[in-house]
Amino acid sequence: LSTVNKVSNVFEDVEFCVMTGMGKYSKLYLESRIAEWGGSVVQNPGPETYCVIVGADNVRVKNIIASNKYDVVRAEWLLQCFQTKMLVPWQPAFMIHMSPDTKEHFAREYDCYGDSYTADTDVAQLKEVFSRMEDRKLMPWDVIVELEERYSWNSCQLSIFRGNTIYVDCYAVVNEPRTKIHGTTLSIRALELRFYGAKVVSHLEESVSHVIIGEDHSRVKEIKALRRTFGKKFKIVFELWVKQSVEEGVPKDESQYLI
Amino acid sequence: MEKTLNRIHPVSHPEETYFLQVSWEKDLGTGFGIILSDGQCAWTGKVSEAEISREAADMEMNKEKYVEELKKALIAGEESAGKYNFAISRDEENTACHFSYERNLKDGSFRLGSLKLQKVSNPAEVIKELIGYCLDRLGSLQAKNEHLQKENERLFSDWSDVEKRLEKCVEAKEELEADLYNRFILVLNEKKAKIRNLQKLLNEARESAAAA
């Protein structure tokens, strides 16, 4: 490495330890580029090491992380420095692991997901922040309903039926999902309802707000009888209500579709 | 050339069955041929366009309307059964046969047309032809039925395929939404925690300033 030609002083007096390379950028390539830019390279990190550069994971990398002494940075950061010809400031996206000092510094600037407290975000940055979140929990439907109401997003075209719990009369025997009648337009209506924000249930219970009926009216009597036993009354509407609400992008008044 | 074959019962002998074949080119109004058979003998005749026009004029009827009536009487079959009467009279030697068709009215009937049919010398040939026509028709209907059935099966399987795909799209949309909202909430709550923390710091600073 003593024979390289220096092309820049960006890394003057900065000591790196390159642990692994990535893809077409080998460890040796990264090391020689660092040297060209005036930096120095060591094989094991020491007290003077600025950071550890990692392209791909391996056991040594894991040990370095476990030691909690060094900042472990993605090789992409280095490549960005080479590309922009400057010392690119560290951002959460580049950090594989942070030493306690760096962590404290970042905690003042960024939340634990890497989103800045002060700088505006944009679609790409937010996507990046979201992509690094490991929590794969799904938000329950009723929390989404609350959230959309709170931020007034419930007028969105995809939320026509938001907040409605709907039973679709597509079972030959009421409340028997095993008796589902296949190939009818009602099963399409059920999917449309879900797509536009409704919660479609297979059991007719107190929480239901609407029952959707198709061409076949043979179970209406039974459904009406069931309704008499409920405290909270649901509306029984013809499937046209779903169709026309979707076509017009707003929930239509149910009164013209009642059965 | 188009053809229909119907079963008719003469008004005079309702228990007897005759087979009536009517054949025409494009439209009944341009003339048609008739074959009548009782299964043993056969008679044949023709009605020309001129005769149709004359009949219509005699009845002071619009020709189109008259042709409509003819269609109902001669080729509609089951649908108009009972609404039209057929009279068949044969002479002793079966050489000629009078055939007439009339519209049934509440009080009596209304003659639409009549013609004299000629005996066919070889009725077996005619009957063979009639049976042949039936078999051909049966064959083509069967083929059409099979085709429609296959088409129906294909449509049904396409439908359920699309339905399954749509369901996947809906599931993916629901999941994406729930997932994005979850991430959104986590980031949003981090910001709120920061604001709370800053409020706390501000209050502490105010308190210490007030104390000083």
Q: Tell if the CB–CB gap between A194 and B194 is shorter than 8 Å.
A: no
Residues pairing with B199 in the sheet: none
Task: Give the pTM.
Answer: 0.69
Residues pairing with B21 in the sheet: B5, B35
Q: Tell if the CB–CB gap between A188 and B163 is shorter than 8 Å.
A: yes
Q: Is A111 on the interface with B (CB under 8 A)?
A: yes
Give pLDDT, residue B14.
87
Give pLDDT, residue B163.
94
Q: Is A140 on the interface with B (CB under 8 A)?
A: yes
Give pLDDT, residue B78.
65
Q: Tell if the CB–CB gap between A135 and B179 is shorter than 8 Å.
A: no
Give pLDDT, residue B80.
67
Give pLDDT, residue B31.
93
Please state, in angstroms and rounded to a whole number, the distance separating the CA atoms of residues B163 and B166.
Answer: 5
What are the pLDDT digits (tens) for A163-217? 899 999 999 999 999 999 988 899 999 999 999 999 999 999 999 999 999 999 9
> Chain A 66-105, CB below 8 Å of chain B: which residues?
none
Of A25, A8, A32, A23, which Cα lies nearest the Cα of A87?
Answer: A8
Q: Which of B169, B187, B196, B197 to mutate to test the interface with A (most CBs of A within 10 A)?
A: B187
Give pLDDT, residue A89.
87
Please state, in angstroms and rounded to a whole number, the distance separating the CA atoms of residues A171 and A44.
Answer: 68
> Chain B 135-174, CB below 8 Å of chain A: which residues?
156, 159-160, 163, 166-167, 169-170, 173-174
Q: Tell if the CB–CB gap between A182 and B190 is shorter than 8 Å.
A: no
Q: What is the DSSP letter of A86?
A: S
Q: Which of A111, A130, A135 sits opposite B191 (nearest CB)?
A: A111
CB A134 within 8 A of CB A112: no
> DSSP string spanning chain B?
-EEEEEEE-BSS-TT--EEEEEEESS-GGGEEEEEEE-SS-EEEEEEEHHHHHHHHHHTT--HHHHHHHHHHHHT-GGGGBTTEEEEEEE-TTSSEEEEEEEEE-SSSEEEEEEEEEEEPS-HHHHHHHHHHHHHHHHHHHHHHHHHHHHHHHHHHHHHHHHHHHHHHHHHHHHHHHHHHHHHHHHHHHHHHHHHHHHHHHHHHHHHHHHH-
Residues in A touching B191 (Cβ below 8 Å): 111, 115, 117
Residues in chain A predicted with pLDDT less than 50, given as ranges, are none
Q: What is the mean pLDDT of each run of 10 residues along chain B (212 residues)?
A: 89 89 91 92 92 90 90 78 84 81 83 89 92 94 97 94 95 92 90 94 94 86
ipTM of predicted complex:
0.71
Give pLDDT, residue A5.
73
Chain B nearest CA to A151, separation (Å)? 12
Chain A nearest CA to B184, separation (Å)? 8
Q: Which of A117, A130, A137 sits opposite B194 (nearest CB)?
A: A117
Give pLDDT, residue A2.
54
